[in-house]
């Protein structure tokens, strides 16, 4: 079974630009979550989607948005990039349950903002 796939793996952008990151969950997994990891703030929750519905959102500005498609694939978008958005963005999928079980993480998309 293929794991969680994130694309692109690495990207460099300049301040003010926007970026779209993509995540393909494990087949059969309907829940997709996104996390931002930085040396200063650690792992911070961005959002969680199930069946195209956002069920929870972290404490990030409106420049951060996401969506999930009917095939469970997900994208996140960051507009008007700032230097502080440089981070490893991790996507994770799981089998939907009433509580959060084991998350399966992708290798991440490493974003550098210059």
Partner 1 sequence: SQQGEEDPQALSIQEGENATMNCSYKTSINNLQWYRQNSGRGLVHLILIRSNEREKHSGRLRVTLDTSKKSSSLLITASRAADTASYFCATDANDYKLSFGAGTTVTVRA
Residue 85 within binding range of partner 1, rule CB under 8 A = no
Is 25 a binding residue for partner 1 by CB under 8 A? The answer is no
Tell the smallest beta-carbon distance from residue 77 to partner 1 (Å): 19
73 binds partner 1 (CB under 8 A): no
Give the CA distances from residue 12 to residues 2, 19, 58, 81, 86, in Å, rounded to whole numbers and listed in that order: 27, 10, 24, 11, 9
- Asked whether the CA dihedral 27, 66, 36, 23 is positive or negative, the reply is positive
If DSSP codes are grouped into helix, strand and coil, which group holds residue 61? coil
Number of residues that bind partner 1 (CB under 8 A): 28
If binding is defined by CB under 8 A, does position 28 make contact with partner 1? no
* 67 binds partner 1, rule: CB under 8 A: no
Burial 6-30 (b: 16+ CB within 10 A, else e): beeeeeebeeeeebebebbbbeebe
Q: How far is the CB of 98 from partner 1 (least distance, A)?
A: 8
**Binding interface with partner 1 (CB under 8 A):** 4, 31, 33, 35, 42-45, 48, 50, 55-56, 58, 88, 90, 92, 98-108, 110
């Amino acid at each position: 079974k293929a794991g969680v796939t994130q694309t692109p793996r690495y990207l460099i952008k300049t301040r003010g630009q926007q970026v779209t990151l993509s995540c393909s969950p494990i087949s059969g997994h309907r829940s997709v979550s996104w996390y931002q990891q930085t040396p200063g703030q650690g792992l911070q929750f961005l959002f969680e989607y199930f069946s195209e519905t956002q069920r929870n959102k972290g404490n990030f500005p409106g420049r951060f948005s996401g969506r999930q498609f009917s095939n469970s694939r997900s994208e996140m978008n960051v507009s008007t990039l700032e230097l502080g958005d440089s981070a490893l963005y991790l996507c994770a999928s799981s089998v939907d349950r009433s509580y959060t079980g084991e998350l399966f993480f992708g290798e991440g998309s490493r974003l550098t903002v210059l």
